[in-house]
Amino acid sequence: MRNRKFERFMPAWKPRAIMEKILAFYLHDAGHTVSVVNPARIKGFAQSELLRTKTDKLDASLIARFCLAMKPIPWIPPSPEIRALRALVRRVDSLTNMRTQEKNRISIAYESVSLLIKEHIAYLDHEIKKIRKEIARLIEEDPNLKRNKDLLDTIPGLGKVTIAVILAELDDLEKFNHVRELVAFIGLAPKETLSGSSIKGKPRLCKIGHVRLRKVFYMPALVSIQCNPLMIAFCNRLKDKGKNGKVIVCAIMRKLVHIVFGVLKSGKKYDPNYKPVSA
């Protein structure tokens, strides 16, 4: 490359968790076009070429061919406010998981160690409470975040923690032209296996998607079945059709995604009596 001149080039690399986004931000700020692509797409592209050998040099060439052939859409980084909110929300999630692990250790720990664990749990509780206050402050001080928070707050079943995660992880709805795209992005779209008349697999949940968002819609779905008349009626209809519990919960989660999408896209509060006009 040293002896060649390029009018423009598109950086591409193998994802490395946190370093992936750090490099993406750095290159974007330097004025380069950056695309962040699911590694599964590149793996599928490699399988289509029947590659049998894997080295760093071959991987680099593969990624370059993928970008040339597929032309992935440019990555648009989230705003500084969203980045800050996302970091805080993920920190709370990490500390919450750590607290759960510590609580599980108490029952089998020696008394001397048990006291230390309890002190650590108290510290984690304090940190989680402090960060949640910072999350609330950040949302209240940003006009866009506050507006979206107020809209989401009108949806039965969504609490403060859930709303904060949605605001942090779902930063740009403009990239979704239809709610089906958002459902697929989160990983709540049904997956079917059909081939001719002899192969008909049982529909399953396609979990290729945003794990954090999929996880955060689970508890609100359970709450909605208890407090939202719309969801209660929807749940009863599914029961009458013989659907089992897991299928019903997943359907409620998808319904919640539809409601969130509609509320944020329209900028209007949740209306339990709203009925879409058929075209």
Render pLDDT for 202-241 as a digit per residue (tens, 0 to 9): 666 667 788 899 999 999 999 999 989 999 999 999 999 9
Percent of the chain with pLDDT over 70: 85
Q: What are phi and psi of 55, to 5 degrees?
A: -135, 165
Q: What local confidence, expressed as pLDDT, does residue 155 receive? A: 94
| pTM for this entry | 0.83
**Three-state SS at 162:** helix
How far is the CA of 28 from the CAs of 9, 37, 83, 169, 172, in angstroms? Answer: 12, 15, 15, 20, 17
Reference 163, options 186, 143, 136; nearest CA is: 136
Per-residue pLDDT band at 12 (split at 50, 70, 90): low
Instruction: Write out pLDDT tens, residues 96-145.
Output: 999 999 999 998 888 889 999 999 999 999 999 999 999 999 999 999 99
SS3 call for 200: strand
Section 29-38 average pLDDT: 84
Decide: 221 and 213 in contact? Cβ < 8 Å: no
Q: How confident is the model at residue 24 (pLDDT cuts 50, 70, 90)?
A: confident
